[in-house]
Structure 1
Amino acid sequence: MGTDPLTVDWTEAQVAVMHRLRDWAVGFTELNQHLSTWMRLPTSDANALGNIIWADEAGTPLSPAELSRQIGMTSGATTVLLNRLEAAGHIVRSREGSDRRRVTLRPVREAREQARAFLAFAGAEIAASLGDTPDPELTTVIAFLERMTAAARQANTRLARGERGDQKTV
């Protein structure tokens, strides 16, 4: 596969970057837990709803299969979770576009408004930090994160195919 991350002589800056990325992931996970409390949902449901809202806001609504992959649940467990979110009035499943077989997940207006209220309250520090960051620095960070995301996507694709390298399955 190329570089063995366990044997590379990483620079201090590279190690620091990996620690900061982990710190962000931990902080983001904790924010999602607060979102679940805010919306009175189980953490898994709030996480799924957040992904559904985020994708819809970006103009790329999710299918149940895409959501399953993002949240790391089986299709059956995701169906149960989506049934709960739909019964609670947080999402709707629809068949849009030319392929009427494809189910699209959409948040309802009230769920979107609750999530926006949470972000307005909980995201104040993050918004201030982004606002204080000069555009050239943001451009550098965007390019770096795009490379890291592409690398993670490649690894996830390889792992999803069942590749295990030299490791034996136990």
Structure 2
Amino acid sequence: MYRRRDDRRARMIADITNDLRRYAADAQHVGHAFAGLHGLNATDLQALIAVMDAELVGEPITPGRLGERLNLSSGSVTALIDRLERAGHIRRDRDTADRRKVFLRYADRGAELARSFFAPLGRRNDQVMARFSDEELETVHRFMAEMVTSMREHRNAMRAARGEPPKHAAEAGAADRAAD
């Protein structure tokens, strides 16, 4: 970004910052390509990511939590879920303990579409990671986890500055664990 590069560490930090920015921009383009191919908009894509993140940690997301995460009204969340369900991307499952509670999960068709689209990227990522030792990967993982936390804290500060309500602690924790 806009950092002085007077010494080796400063240059390295600037290079890493630029790499993260480029990675984020390229990842966004890949996500938009998937969305465009399957008739999804940006909010649809964010919803699918939220459902996937929640499932990865074994804590499926509810429609209410999805609305909080995406900053959508109850009516907008219902329309979003209906649209994604009709398209075969997600399904609604009732909680076995409390039938009034609904969890959102990836539908088989949606999961297969995502797998087929992202499998080549997954193979590329596996090839890159194979070039690093376990110790190096541990360092990279720790770095990335802390960068994700930093970005989320900044995002939450921006939301608070705009007067948006804070996210529930449980949803924030699930999303953080999904990043691990």
3-state DSSP of counterpart to 2:161: coil
TM-score by length of 1: 0.74
Picking from 54, 72, 75, the partner of 1:74 is: 72
Q: Check the 8 A contact 1:39/1:46 in 2, yes or no.
A: no
Letter in 1 for 2:72: T
TM-superposed deviation, 1:96: 1.8
- Specify the alignment match of 2:135 in structure 1: 136
Instruction: Say if 1:50 and 1:159 are closer, same or farther in 2 by CA, change over 3 A.
Output: closer
- Specify the alignment match of 2:44 in structure 1: 45
- Specify the alignment match of 2:173 in structure 1: none
Structure 2: 5+ residue stretches without partners:
164-180
Is 1:84–2:69 an aligned residue pair?
no
| Correspondence 1:24-43 to 2 at 5 A | 24-43=23-42
Q: CA RMSD in A?
A: 2.8
- Specify the alignment match of 1:167 in structure 2: none
Instruction: Say if 1:100 and 1:13 are closer, same or farther in 2 by CA, change over 3 A.
Output: farther
Instruction: Say if 1:158 and 1:104 are closer, same or farther in 2 by CA, change over 3 A.
Output: same
- Specify the alignment match of 2:56 in structure 1: 57
Q: Percent identity?
A: 29
Instruction: Say if 1:163 and 1:48 are closer, same or farther in 2 by CA, change over 3 A.
Output: closer
- Identify, as 1 or 2, the structure richer in helix: 2
Structure 1: 5+ residue stretches without partners:
1-5, 165-170
Letter in 1 for 2:134: D
Of residues 59-68 and 129-138 in structure 1, the stretch that sits farther from structure 2 once superposed is: 59-68
- Specify the alignment match of 1:18 in structure 2: 17
The separation in 1 between residues aligned to 2:109 and 2:130, in whole angstroms, is: 28
- Specify the alignment match of 1:157 in structure 2: 156
Instruction: Say if 1:15 and 1:117 are closer, same or farther in 2 by CA, change over 3 A.
Output: same
* Higher relative contact order structure (alpha carbons within 8 Å, sequence separation ≥ 6): 2
Instruction: Say if 1:19 and 1:100 are closer, same or farther in 2 by CA, change over 3 A.
Output: farther
The separation in 1 between residues aligned to 2:126 and 2:111, in whole angstroms, is: 18
TM-score by length of 2: 0.70
Q: Check the 8 A contact 1:32/1:47 in 2, yes or no.
A: no
The separation in 1 between residues aligned to 2:106 and 2:123, in whole angstroms, is: 23
Of residues 16-25 and 122-131 in structure 1, the stretch that sits farther from structure 2 once superposed is: 122-131
Count residues with an aligned counterpart. 157
Is 1:108–2:80 an aligned residue pair?
no
The separation in 2 between residues aligned to 1:48 and 1:163, in whole angstroms, is: 22
Instruction: Say if 1:37 and 1:159 are closer, same or farther in 2 by CA, change over 3 A.
Output: closer
3-state DSSP of counterpart to 2:145: helix
